[in-house]
Structure 1
Amino acid sequence: MEENKNIDKKSLKFLNGKNTDWNELAKDCVCFANAQGGFIYIGIEDKATFPAEKQKITDRNLPDIIQKNIAHRTVNVGIAVTIETAENKAEYIKIQVFRNAQTIASTTDGKYYVRVHDECKPVPPDEMARLAADKNAFVWEEQITKRVPASEFDEVKKRTFLNDIRNSQRVSRFIKEMDDEELLDFYFIQKNGFLTNLGILWIGKRNDRASLLYPPAIQVIRYDDKEEKVWKLLLDDYFSNPKELLERVLNDVPDWQESVEVSEGMFRKNIPFFPVEVVRELVVNALVHRTYTTRGDIFINIYPDRMEIHSPGRLPFGVTPKNILSKSIRRNEHLSKIFYDLGLMEKEGSGYDLVYAKLLGSGKPLPIVKETDERVTVIVKKQFVSKEVVRLMDRASNDFSLKQKEQISLGLLAQQQSYTALEISNILNQNEEVGLRYWLGRLIELELVIKTGKGKGTQYAVNPEFIRKINFKGKTNLKNIEDYRLEELIYKDLTAYPNSGFGEIHQRIGMEINKHKVRRLLKQMVDNGQLKTEGVKKWTRYSIEQNLQENQ
C-alpha cells in the first residue's frame, strides 16, 4: 500500500496531544475532498504496508477528537474516523475523506487545496475556476437531469457495449459474469432507473445525445500551403458515441496512411508522417479529458507541415504543458474507465509516454502542447529530424527490446547526441536523480548510453561504440568533446585571446559545451600550472603561463 492520489499515511507520533498539528491534517482532508476523496491512515509509516507489530490505540476517544478538530478547521469536508485492526493484529486509525461533489472545500481561514497524485497542492485564486470546472465534469457523468428512462437506449449500441466489455482482456471475470443490468450500473451507464449523462453519451439514442449540454463533435480539416480548406470530415450529427467517433477518425481520414520509406542497404522501413498510434492517443485524450460542461468542438487540423488537435477547455488541474509527460489526472473518471477497459487508451499516466516513444522512435520532434484560457492544442510536426535517428532507434529497439521510457530517453539523446542531467531532467520533468535513473532504465547497463562527469556537470550521450557499430552519421557538435581535445581548444583560444574571462572563452570555443565541464577543465589547467589567473570570482581572467608560452 503506497501513497497515491487516494491514500496518505502518517506516523502515530503525528497525534501528539496538545502539540498535534491539526491544521496540517485539516489541509490534507481539504485536499482529498476537493479531489476524488481518499483515506488517511494514521499509525502506518510512509514506507510500511502495515502498522508496527503490537501497536495499539490506547486512547479510544481519538476518532471523536479527530472528527471534532477537523470539523472546526474545515468547510464542506465530510469524514468518517474509525480504529482498524490490520492483518498483523496491530491497530491504526483510518480517516475516510468523502469526495465533495457539489462545492469546493476549504480550511476555515479561507485556504483551498487539492490532491494531485501523492501531493497536496494549494489552489491559487486564478485557478479556482478550473477546479470548479473539473469538479462539475466529474459530477456531470453521473447526473440524470435529462430523466431519460433506462429503457430508452439504442439497441445496437447497448449490445455492442456489453459484448465489448465481456470480450475485453482488461475486464475481470467477476465483472464479466454480472448480468446486463448490473454491468450498466457498474459503469454508471444508468442510475435509479434512468440513463446517466454518460449512459446517454454511450448507449443513448441520437435525439437524447443531441440534447446533452455539449455532446462531443469532431471536425477534421485539411489545409493547403496557403492555409485554405481543401477537405473536411464533419462528425457533428450525434449519431456516434465516443468509441464510434474515434473509429471514424482513424478509418475515414486518408492522411494517416501517408508515409516515407527510409532505406540504406538492406534496411527498409516505412515511417508514417503521423503514426496512427499517436493520432489515436491524442484523439482519445481530447474525448476523455475534455470538459463536457464547456462549449466547443474538437478540431483536427492537418497542414502540409503539421497536425494540430484542438480540444475545448483547459488541462485538468495539476497538469501543465511542461509536466504533461509525468502527470496524469482523469477529469472524467467513469468515461476514462470505459475507454481503458475497452482497450481504447493506455493506462493512466502512460498515454503521453506512448506519444513521445512513437514520435522519437520515428525520428520526429516532440509534440508541442499549448494551453490558453479556452482550449488545449497539441501540435505534431510532419517532418523528420533525421533518417539516421530512425535507423539508430530501430536497431536499438530490435536488439534490446527497450521499454517505453528507455525509448524516450534514448530518442532524446539520439536527436541531440547528448544532454546534461539538468537538460534531460527538465524535458522529462524529473527533479530528482532517482527519477531520472528510472527513465534511463537499462540504457547505461546495456552500453547504449554513457555517463560522464558528476554533479551539475553530469552528461549523458549515446555510446560512440554503438554509433560506430551501426554507421550512424548524426550531426556534429562539440557537446561530447573529450577532455584532452577541450583542453587543447582552451589552450589555443587563450593563445589568441590572453587575459580572457570565463564567458568570453566559453562563447568562443562553443556554447553547446557544458559550462560546468569548461569550468572543471579551466580549474584543472590552473592547478596543473598550465594557466594563470588574475582577479576573483566573476572577474577572474585566464592567461597561459609565461614559461609555457616561451617553450612553444
Structure 2
Amino acid sequence: METRQISSEEADIILGYDENHFRDVKAKEIAPAKLSRTVSAFANTAGGELFVGIAENEDATKTWSGFENVEAANGVLQVLEGLSPMGNLYSAQFLTSPGRKGVVLHLAIRKTREIINATDGTAYIRRGAQKLPVLGDEALRRLQLDKGLSTFEDDTVNIPSETITNSVTTLEFVLSQVPSAEPDIWLKSQFVLTSERPTVAGVLLFADEPQAALPKRSAIKIFRYATKEEGVDRETLAFDPLSIEGPIYDLITKAVSTTKEIVQAIKRVGEAGLEEISYPDETLHEIITNAVLHRDYSYQTDVQIRIYDDRIEVESPGRFPGHVTVSNVLTEQFARNPKLVRLINKFPDPPNKDVGEGLNTAFAAMRRIRLKEPEIVESANSIIVFIRHEQLSSPASIVMEYLESNPTITNEIGRRITGLRRDVQMKDIFVLLRKRGLIEQVPGKRGRATAWRSVQPK
C-alpha cells in the first residue's frame, strides 16, 4: 500500500476540511467497529473520502495526529476487508507530511452495488455530515430500490389484466412482433403480467392511459419560466404547467416535441437583433429518454422539464442506482428498470436505439454546436440535468487551456475537447496557433501520431 509524502500546505488543506456528505475525518483512536459505520454510510450512498489520524480539538480546530507507523492501522484495514464480499470497497494510501506526527490513513470509499453493513450488522446511509442507520423493513426496501437491488417495475398493480391485454397500444405492438402471439400469452412470457395482474412496467408500456393506474408518477410535467433566475416561484410561469400523458413510448416523443416547440419561441438579443435559441435534437431526446426510462418509479413524483430563458432542467425522480455516480455516469451502465429498457427497444423506431450510449450522444451533440456540456447533479431524491445555452470558449482557447495542464495534444484529443468534427478543422487551429508562436509540433511525431505542445523556452 502506497505511502506518500505531501507538503505542509497540502496537510493544512486536509486539516481545514469540513465534514460533509462526501468527506469525513476521524482520530486514530476510533474503534474500527465504529469506523465501519461511516464506511457503510459512504458505500451505501455516494462514496466518499475518509482521513483517519486527524484529531479534533475542543475549539473545533483539527490536528495531524497519525498512526505511529503503517502497521498500527492494520486493525482498521482488517475490518474494512471483512465488510465487502466483493473486495472492491475502497482504495487506501498513507500520508506523511514534514514536521507532522505519524501517518494518516486516507481511504477512498466507493459507492457499491451491494448493501454494505457495518460490523454491528446494520446498514448506514450518509446524509450531509451524518451517518444514519437503516432501520425497519420499509427503510431497507428504500435502500434496496436506491441501489437497484430490487426494482419497482416488477411490483404488480391492482387493476384488471384487460388494461394491458386489450389496449390499443398492446394490440398494435403485438401485430408488429415476429413471431406474432396472443397478447396475454406474450405479456405473460415477458413477465409483465403476473397472477393476472399487470406489473408497473406492463402498465407503463402497454396501458393506453398509465396515469389512471399510476397517478403522479407516470406523466411528465413541463414548466416554462420567463426568466434566467434560479429559485423562482409561480409568478414567473409563462403559462400553466403542461402535463404530458400516455404510454411511455408516446410520452417520450410528445415531451421532446413539446419542449422543442416551447424553446423555439424563446428569443434572445444577438448581434443581428432578436435571435431564436436552440438545442440539439439528440441532446433533448437522449436526456428526456434517460429521465423516463431510468427514473425510480417508487417515488410518487412525475418527471419535470423546466424551461428557462437560458437553460433547460430535466429532473428525474430517484438517485443513481447501484455503483453509478455523477463522476462515472458516462462510462458505467446500470439499468434500474431493465424490463422497460429491453421491451421499449422492441417498439418500432425505439427511443433508446443505442442502449448505454444516450448521455454520451447528448454531450457530444452539445459540443458539436459549441455549447457547454450538460451538467448532472444528484440531489437528495432526484437527478437533475442542466442543459445550458452557454457558448464554449473558442477552439484555440480550449487548446491552450488544455496545454496548461497537459504536456501535449493530438488531433483526436483536440476534436474531442473542442467539438470540431473534422481532422482538417482541428489542423487549421493548430496551424493558426503555431503561426502565432504559441505552440509547436512535438519532434519525432508524424502522421497519425502528430502531437503539439506549448512553445518550449529556448
Report the TM-score when normalising by structure 2: 0.54
Give 2:11's aligned residue. none
Give 2:195's aligned residue. 192
Paired residue secondary structure (1:419) = helix
> Structure 1 pair 301/319, CA: closer, same or farther in 2 (3 Å)?
same
> Structure 2: how far apart are the matches of 1:235 and 1:418?
44
> Structure 1: how far apart are the matches of 2:265 and 2:311?
13
Work out which of the residue numbers 233, 239, 242 in structure 2 matches 1:234: 242
Give 1:419's aligned residue. 402
> Structure 2: how far apart are the matches of 1:358 and 1:460?
12
Tell me if structure 1 keeps the 8 A contact 2:224–2:239: yes
> Structure 1 pair 423/333, CA: closer, same or farther in 2 (3 Å)?
farther
> Structure 2: how far apart are the matches of 1:136 and 1:449?
35
Work out which of the residue numbers 252, 258, 281 in structure 1 matches 2:258: 252
Paired residue secondary structure (1:158) = helix
> Structure 2: how far apart are the matches of 1:371 and 1:296?
16
Work out which of the residue numbers 128, 131, 152 in structure 2 matches 1:140: 152
Give 2:299's aligned residue. 294
Paired residue secondary structure (2:205) = helix
Work out which of the residue numbers 370, 375, 384 in structure 1 matches 2:391: 384
The 5 Å alignment of 1:69-80 reads: none
Indicate yes or no: 2:290 matched with 1:285.
yes
Tell me if structure 2 keeps the 8 A contact 1:461–1:480: no
Report the TM-score when normalising by structure 1: 0.46
Tell me if structure 1 keeps the 8 A contact 2:296–2:336: yes
> Structure 2: how far apart are the matches of 1:292 and 1:310?
13
Tell me if structure 2 keeps the 8 A contact 1:314–1:376: yes
Work out which of the residue numbers 243, 253, 262 in structure 1 matches 2:249: 243
Paired residue secondary structure (1:235) = strand
Sequence identity (%)? 21
> Structure 2: how far apart are the matches of 1:469 and 1:188?
56
Indicate yes or no: 2:333 matched with 1:331.
no
Work out which of the residue numbers 349, 366, 370 in structure 1 matches 2:373: 366
Give 1:222's aligned residue. 224
Indicate yes or no: 2:278 matched with 1:273.
yes
Name the aligned partner's letter for residue 366 of structure 1: E
**Per-residue displacement from partner, 1:292-342 (whole Å, max 9, x unpaired)?**
111222221111111111122212231222211111211111111123333
Tell me if structure 1 keeps the 8 A contact 2:293–2:341: yes
> Structure 1: how far apart are the matches of 2:132 and 2:403?
36
> Structure 1 pair 126/416, CA: closer, same or farther in 2 (3 Å)?
farther
Give 1:314's aligned residue. 319
> Structure 2: how far apart are the matches of 1:271 and 1:243?
29
> Structure 2: how far apart are the matches of 1:143 and 1:346?
26
> Structure 2: how far apart are the matches of 1:479 and 1:355?
33
> Structure 2: how far apart are the matches of 1:471 and 1:450?
9
Tell me if structure 2 keeps the 8 A contact 1:188–1:198: no
Name the aligned partner's letter for residue 341 of structure 2: S
Tell me if structure 1 keeps the 8 A contact 2:372–2:388: yes
Work out which of the residue numbers 364, 385, 394 in structure 2 matches 1:357: 364
- Structure 1, unmatched stretches of 5+, are 1-33, 35-72, 76-102, 114-123, 167-172, 261-269, 390-412, 425-442, 452-458, 485-512, 526-552
Tell me if structure 2 keeps the 8 A contact 1:271–1:362: no
- Structure 2, unmatched stretches of 5+, are 1-43, 45-81, 85-113, 125-130, 135-139, 230-235, 268-274, 444-451
Name the aligned partner's letter for residue 370 of structure 2: G
> Structure 1 pair 110/223, CA: closer, same or farther in 2 (3 Å)?
same
**Per-residue displacement from partner, 1:16-68 (whole Å, max 9, x unpaired)?**
xxxxxxxxxxxxxxxxxx9xxxxxxxxxxxxxxxxxxxxxxxxxxxxxxxxxx
Count of aligned positions: 313
Paired residue secondary structure (1:373) = coil
Task: Report how far residue 418 of structure 1 moved.
Answer: 5.9
> Structure 1: how far apart are the matches of 2:194 and 2:404?
52
> Structure 1: how far apart are the matches of 2:404 and 2:188?
49
The runs of at least 4 aligned residues of structure 1 exceeding 6 Å deviation read 103-109, 124-130, 421-424, 459-465, 470-479, 481-484
> Structure 2: how far apart are the matches of 1:215 and 1:467?
46
> Structure 1 pair 217/421, CA: closer, same or farther in 2 (3 Å)?
farther
> Structure 1 pair 110/384, CA: closer, same or farther in 2 (3 Å)?
same
Tell me if structure 1 keeps the 8 A contact 2:205–2:340: no
Tell me if structure 2 keeps the 8 A contact 1:256–1:275: no
Aligned-residue CA RMSD (Å): 5.0
> Structure 2: how far apart are the matches of 1:376 and 1:476?
45
> Structure 2: how far apart are the matches of 1:472 and 1:192?
69
> Structure 2: how far apart are the matches of 1:109 and 1:377?
35
Name the aligned partner's letter for residue 207 of structure 2: G
Tell me if structure 2 keeps the 8 A contact 1:153–1:205: no
The 5 Å alignment of 1:414-453 reads: 415-416=398-399, 419=402
**Per-residue displacement from partner, 1:126-179 (whole Å, max 9, x unpaired)?**
89786422367844222225153346655212223324x52xxxxxx5xx4444
Tell me if structure 2 keeps the 8 A contact 1:301–1:309: yes
> Structure 1: how far apart are the matches of 2:172 and 2:437?
58
Q: Which has the higher contact order (CA 8 A, sep 6+)?
A: 2
Name whichever structure is richer in helix by fraction.
1
> Structure 2: how far apart are the matches of 1:152 and 1:288?
19
